[in-house]
Amino acid sequence: MMFDLAGKVALVTGGNGGLGLAYGRGLVKCGAKVALWGRNADKNQGAAEELRAMGGDAEAFACDVTDESQIAEAFTQTITRFGQVDSCFANAGGGGFRGMSHLTDRETWLRTIDLNLMSVVQTWRPVTEHLLARQSGGRLVVTSSVAALMGTGGAAGYSTTKAAVRGLVQALAVELGQAGIRVNAILPGFIETEMSTDTPQEFQDACRRRSVIGRIGVLEDMEGVAVFLASDHSDFMTGQSIVLDGGHTIFPM
């Protein structure tokens, strides 16, 4: 098998559903052990059971990635269970506030920044320390969005934070490259998830019209990119943003 992840451990935040669980499915299919972090205990258990039913070695840990103490505890539990982490997918986040940015107060802005930017910084901190101590390289991946590349009126906080993590990726790629740690971002377009389908129907219809391949994304579309970025075959790729959008961002509509 070309993309053999046997012996590798992947950590996925927001891993109990949506894109995170899709990453997990792809990773276990290629032999990786997977640690899922999520806030909802029932969803955590269900996600871990699903991956185990696929033949994978998976465990879920309760964690709110906006809380540093919970991150520290979940990371300790992950290392105790699996012994190591080789790749970390910082996927947890959310849409943030809706509305005109100039009418949005400072505290609301800061909550969105905490949710989509600082959560990544905080999650990657113990993972990076662990990878540097092991001196065996590793992979850091963040879920950004095509909203980082396009204007999204009424969701300035989301666009801003998803663009910010691309800057973080480039900075950390430079900082950690000599240590063998590769840092990259995935920028999905419209993928059918619980969060994306809880948007106005006219927005969803517009996304379908902009797809040059005639459809919007499904969760299975996310599996392969996760496997590639967790594998040694992505060793020459770092500081990059992989757009996975069915051509949405290139359609001159």
Q: How far is CA 238 from CA 149, 176, 178, in A?
A: 19, 10, 11
Instruction: Give the DSSP H or E segment for 69.
Output: helix 68-82
Phi-psi region of 182 (alpha: psi -120 to 50; beta: other; left: phi over 0): beta
Reduced to 3 states, what is the DSSP secondary structure of residue 10? strand
Q: Is the separation of the CB atoms in 131 and 75 below 8 Å?
A: no
Contacts of 35 (CB under 8 A, 6+ apart): 9, 10, 11, 12, 15, 58, 59, 60, 61, 78, 81, 82, 85
Cα distance between residue 91 and residue 120, in whole Å: 8
Which one of 82, 97, 158, 190 is the catalytic residue? 158
**The residue to which tokens 């100039």 are assigned:** 102
Quick check: is 23 catalytic? no
Residues with a catalytic annotation lie at 158
